[in-house]
Structure 1
Amino acid sequence: MNLLNSLRRFNAVTGRLAPGISARVSRRVLMRPRAHAPKAWEADALARAERVGFRFGLSALRWGERDAPVVLMLHGWEGRPTQFAHFIDPLLQAGRQVVALDAPGHGESPGNESNAILFTHALLEAAVEIPNLEAVVGHSMGAGAIGYALSLGLSPQRAVLLGGPSSLRSVLEQYADGVNLQPRARTRFFDVIARHTGVHPDEVDIRHLSRDYQVPALIVHDRNDVLVPFEHGERMAAAWPGAEFLATEGLGHWRILTDPRVVGRASDFLVNAEPLRRVA
């Protein structure tokens, strides 16, 4: 929090005098994830996991039989694979294998920086090496990455998105507000993001991209989520053909990962959801 307070004060002055510098510094701060130690309730899942690697250096944790269909999972910003701990046993009991990625710049995957586009590329790179990929699950930025990756060729049979953003621009606007980016610096900031990632933020809008999706989706969002407001889940579910929407209350952004009702509903969906009927 001290870093963000310092950045707010820096941007209040520099954003007017040198908007380019303000934009570049804000981009660097945004894309440097911090590492957080696992919680006590994650310890058992971590102890039971097998560490696996992918061709381009990505690291992941794996549970279950190697020949079983795979549920691929991706955590959110500054998150961990073991945050999906409550999902593991229900999926293993249903005959699935769970592979949960360390996103780029997180855990044992390479890099000191990360962003939503790198999260998306991680999903696509891992999926190429998983011949029996059946379903995907994402939380927060991991959910947003799934939404974007589906437009780039990711093709699971089912998807579960937990507390995910519906558009990248809205996430970046929220950050820009939080760090007090001044008007000219804010414009430069979006240009800097586009140059750095190779994708303009306006291109990553699941509300528009998902209109042509044929992947059955369960979208879960809590009404009290202060990090990714509830409207994101509502808008995404409204645009996605045939999507199921589970609205929760009182779980916020994080307890959505441990709530028995959410875990049960999501696990059942990942195993049993029927494919969408294609309209000729």
Structure 2
Amino acid sequence: MSDKIYFNTSNKFSFKKRMVNLTTRAHHKLAPSHAKQTAKKLLLTPVRSKPKNAEPTGLIKAEVVTSEGVLKTYRLGQGPVWLLTHGWSGTASQFFPLMEHIASRGYTALAYDHPAHGQSEGVYGHIPAFVGGLEGLLDSEDEVAGLVGHSMGTAAAIECKHIKLHDKPLLLIAPVLDYLDNLFGSVARSGYSMRLFEAVVDEIQTQYHYPIQTIDPYNKLALREAPTIIVHDEKDRFTNYSVSKRAAEEMAQVTLVTTHGQGHGRVMQCEETKASFDQLINFDL
């Protein structure tokens, strides 16, 4: 259900949107506690998508215990580890073609399902949970060589303060660098009561001691010194290409690779993404 809100890009007036606004506002006013629990289920419950690609030969499945529960991991190849972190309502399987490419270059590709996604434990998904899960994966590895992220997974990666990511290169695919604008704008366009949404947000930020206003991928990316390549489709309907373009123009360590016709999902396995990974590892050499 939440995909219909977060992936809603229409600004057009609709009767349905108006009714959503009226009913959610009334629900919050008449039964605030029940309304908040209902809103959590609707807004923070990702779709558990089925695998997108066939499993590569040699794929090793395992589990890692984190503060967000047991997360399912998928490992392919030998050599230094590159972590791969997917987006909202995604799965690690979306990375399987790219993982095969990474493994062919002499590296280990390590992907995982975020909390409440794929085959991992968890009920609710949000940035604090994404960051907690990523920190757990980093704790389980001796060292990582770099990270590949897609969509909301890019925001979590940039937000993560783990020392093992401090000076590592990033490959950001269709990133959400304007996370707060994207999030609040999507909910507002759906017609959902913003006051009710803010009540849900307040509960999460209190639980995790993670103020939502501190989530700022764009400016935190600007503070990083390691090289970053952004691969973003010019016509991406879900994340803002112009923000990626501005980041590359304003940040010396950031390079933008523009794709055409790859959308928000296909871009994860396109040739430009594979070439960008090659560029990052060659830079490291």
TM-score by length of 2: 0.82
Contact 1:60/1:102 (<8 A) preserved: yes
1:54 aligns with 2:64: yes
Aligned counterpart for 2:225 among listed residues 192, 195, 214: 214
In structure 2, the CA distance between the partners of 1:2 and 1:89, relative to structure 1 (3 Å rule), is closer
Shift of 1:173: 1.1
Measure, in 2, the Cα distance between the counterparts of 1:269 and 1:175. Answer: 34
Measure, in 1, the Cα distance between the counterparts of 2:249 and 2:93. Answer: 30
Measure, in 2, the Cα distance between the counterparts of 1:132 and 1:191. Answer: 35
1:260 aligns with 2:271: yes
Contact 1:210/1:241 (<8 A) preserved: no
Measure, in 2, the Cα distance between the counterparts of 1:260 and 1:3. Answer: 27
Contact 1:133/1:156 (<8 A) preserved: no
Question: Match for residue 10 of structure 2?
Answer: none
Question: Match for residue 12 of structure 1?
Answer: 22
TM-score by length of 1: 0.84
1:159 aligns with 2:204: no
Cα deviation, 1:192-216, whole Å, max 9, x if unaligned, reads 4433543222211122222321221
Question: Match for residue 104 of structure 2?
Answer: 93
Measure, in 1, the Cα distance between the counterparts of 2:276 and 2:2. Answer: 37
Cα deviation, 1:7-42, whole Å, max 9, x if unaligned, reads 873432331573556565334312111112223xx1
1:70 aligns with 2:81: yes
Shift of 1:225: 1.0
Aligned counterpart for 2:147 among listed residues 136, 159, 164: 136
Measure, in 1, the Cα distance between the counterparts of 2:177 and 2:276. Answer: 19
Consecutive unaligned residues of structure 2, counting only runs of 5 or more, are: 6-15
Contact 1:158/1:273 (<8 A) preserved: no
Percent identical among aligned pairs is 23
In structure 2, the CA distance between the partners of 1:8 and 1:116, relative to structure 1 (3 Å rule), is farther
Contact 2:167/2:224 (<8 A) preserved: no
Question: Match for residue 103 of structure 1?
Answer: 114
1:31 aligns with 2:44: yes
Question: Match for residue 12 of structure 2?
Answer: none
* Mean CA deviation greater in 163-172 or 152-161: 152-161
Cα deviation, 1:57-92, whole Å, max 9, x if unaligned, reads 222001112xx1001101111111121122123222
Question: Match for residue 184 of structure 2?
Answer: 173
Contact 2:81/2:110 (<8 A) preserved: yes
Measure, in 1, the Cα distance between the counterparts of 2:3 and 2:180. Answer: 23
Cα deviation, 1:77-136, whole Å, max 9, x if unaligned, reads 111112112212322222101110111111222112111221112222111221131010
Contact 1:207/1:235 (<8 A) preserved: no
1:114 aligns with 2:125: yes
Shift of 1:143: 1.2
TM-align CA RMSD: 2.7
Shift of 1:189: 4.9
Contact 2:188/2:194 (<8 A) preserved: no
In structure 2, the CA distance between the partners of 1:75 and 1:4, relative to structure 1 (3 Å rule), is closer
Measure, in 2, the Cα distance between the counterparts of 1:189 and 1:205. Answer: 19
